[in-house]
């Protein structure tokens, strides 16, 4: 096993009726004025907004609202958030939403201290400081609630790129799985498939980290089981709670300790949703990941066989890929570019877009050419 450092500074508060303590948690950090960041309004329908505002008021925390974060969040809206923070002397950001809201919060938090936020995404500026970030997670999947990464789209250049810095870990995250009962089914599925994909980004090249591999298999099987249960009853609290915790563990540094990640399927997916922002990240991964597995299967055959057997209870990888895709389909997820209504002629453009950050991957480094071949398989 390779040496590693595991240091996750996010305080995670998990369970029913936990949202009401957000004001106290912010207060404990001597913060009095926050940017309240949220998306298209789901939090106003399910009571989360009211609970948050009540808690902020009770704890004498002033707030300025910045709503309208879109799924696959965009640079222009993050820049507006930075201006709001500066104009109003805000001291922290409270993100209430999913990965999109939390990622935009991290971008604003970093951008507050930069001359030009996008420079950090272009790797031209280092993120050394950020406003403190607090989050209330409303959809599980990305792991952003307990990691130091953010993904943002520069909508003019169609670049969906990422940043990462230690100062971007949220200070406090609250997860009340009950509030995810208001999710549309398709979003629950997108989140679950995203979390499975995070685990798989590490799984295939880790052969000596038995803890990570065994935990990965257990987490994937847990997520599959929870989604199956939620498909029957979306108000099943234990299934919501286990799905939420598994998704956080999938990308908070625990599974990835001592393991090189691939992040190739993610890079290709970001190329898809950069061009088609209406496509959810998890939906894109449902299409790309099985194709990537099939394309790379000869790079580390014993690990792929182990995946087939231990995760899907199959004797061969080909059989496991059929099982994986039919499970995804049974949840209503797309499993081909056709399902996403992407024409074959677009493959070249997506591969070009996805490869603009350079070669990616360890098992099989991918250039534009290989990405196009994987997308062909996904068609």
d(CA 211, CA 82): 41
Choose among ligand NZQ, Zn ion, none what residue 179 binds, the Cβ cut-off being 5 to 8 Å by kind: ligand NZQ
State which residue, 190 or 353, has the beta carbon closest to ligand NZQ.
190
Q: Which of 88, 182, 231, 303 binds ligand NZQ (CB under 6 A)?
A: 182
Q: Which of 10, 18, 180, 242 binds ligand NZQ (CB under 6 A)?
A: 180
User: What binding mask, one character per residue, do residues 38-57 give for ligand NZQ by CB under 6 A, x or -?
Assistant: -xxxxx--x-----------
> Roughly what angle, to the nearest 10 degrees, separates helices 317-330 and 301-312?
40
Nearest CA to 255 among 219, 303, 308? 219
- Measured distance between the N- and C-terminal CA atoms of the chain, rounded to whole angstroms: 38
Q: Which of 138, 188, 205, 353 binds ligand NZQ (CB under 6 A)?
A: 138
d(CA 183, CA 231): 12
d(CA 293, CA 81): 39
> Applying CB under 6 A, which part among 169-177, 190-198, 239-247, 339-347 lies near ligand NZQ?
190-198
> Applying CB under 6 A, which part among 1-9, 23-31, 147-155, 205-213 lies near ligand NZQ?
147-155
Site for Zn ion in 184-203 (CB under 5 A): 194
d(CA 179, CA 139): 8
> Applying CB under 6 A, which part among 24-32, 76-84, 119-127, 138-146 lies near ligand NZQ?
138-146
d(CA 76, CA 82): 10
d(CA 289, CA 117): 30
Choose among Zn ion, ligand NZQ, none what residue 320 binds, the Cβ cut-off being 5 to 8 Å by kind: none
In 108-158 the beta strands, taken as DSSP E runs, fall at 133-137, 149-154
State which residue, 23 or 284, has the beta carbon closest to Zn ion.
284
DSSP state of 130: -
Site for ligand NZQ in 191-230 (CB under 6 A): 191, 194
State which residue, 43 or 308, has the beta carbon closest to ligand NZQ.
43
Nearest CA to 71 among 240, 169, 184, 202? 184
Backbone torsions φ then ψ of 104, nearest 5 degrees? -65, -35
* Number of residues assigned to the chain: 379
DSSP state of 123: T
Choose among Zn ion, ligand NZQ, none what residue 72 binds, the Cβ cut-off being 5 to 8 Å by kind: ligand NZQ
Using CB under 6 A as the binding rule, whether residue 141 contacts ligand NZQ is answered as: yes
Tell me which residues touch ligand NZQ (CB under 6 A). 39-43, 46, 71-72, 97-101, 103, 138-139, 141-144, 147, 149-151, 179-180, 182-183, 187, 190-191, 194, 251, 266, 281-282
């Amino acid at each position: 096993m390779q040496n590693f450092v595991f240091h996750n500074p996010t305080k995670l508060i998990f369970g029913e009726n936990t949202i009401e303590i957000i004001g106290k948690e912010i207060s404990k950090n001597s913060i009095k004025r926050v940017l309240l960041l949220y998306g298209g309004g789901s939090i106003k329908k399910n009571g989360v907004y009211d609970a948050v505002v009540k808690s902020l008021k009770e704890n004498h925390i002033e707030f300025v609202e910045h709503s309208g974060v879109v799924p696959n969040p965009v640079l222009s809206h993050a820049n507006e958030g930075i201006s709001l923070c500066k104009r109003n002397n805000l001291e922290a950001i409270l993100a209430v939403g999913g990965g999109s809201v939390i990622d935009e919060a991290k971008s604003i938090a970093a951008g507050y201290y930069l001359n030009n936020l996008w420079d950090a995404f272009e790797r031209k500026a280092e993120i050394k400081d950020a406003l403190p970030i607090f989050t209330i997670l409303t959809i599980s999947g990305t792991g952003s609630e307990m990691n130091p990464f953010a993904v943002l789209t520069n909508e003019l250049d169609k670049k969906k790129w990422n940043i990462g810095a230690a100062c971007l870990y949220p200070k406090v995250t609250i997860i009340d799985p009950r509030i995810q009962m208001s999710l549309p089914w398709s979003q629950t599925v997108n989140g679950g498939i995203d979390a499975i994909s995070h685990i798989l980004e590490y799984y295939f090249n880790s052969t000596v980290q038995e803890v990570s591999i065994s935990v990965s298999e257990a987490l994937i099987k847990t997520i599959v089981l929870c989604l199956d249960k939620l498909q029957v009853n979306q108000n099943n609290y234990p299934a919501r709670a286990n799905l939420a915790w598994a998704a956080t563990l999938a990308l908070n540094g625990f599974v990835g300790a001592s393991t090189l990640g691939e992040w190739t399927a993610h890079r290709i997916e970001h190329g898809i949703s950069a061009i088609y922002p209406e496509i959810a990240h998890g939906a894109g991964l449902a299409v790309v990941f099985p194709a990537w597995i099939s394309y790379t299967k000869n790079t580390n055959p014993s690990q792929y066989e182990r995946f087939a057997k231990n995760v899907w209870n199959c004797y061969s990888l080909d059989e496991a890929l059929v099982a994986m895709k039919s499970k995804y389909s049974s949840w209503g997820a797309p499993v081909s570019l056709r399902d996403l209504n992407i024409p074959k002629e677009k493959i070249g453009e997506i591969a070009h877009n996805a490869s603009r950050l350079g070669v990616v991957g360890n098992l099989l480094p991918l250039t534009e050419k290989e990405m196009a071949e994987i997308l062909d398989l996904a068609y």
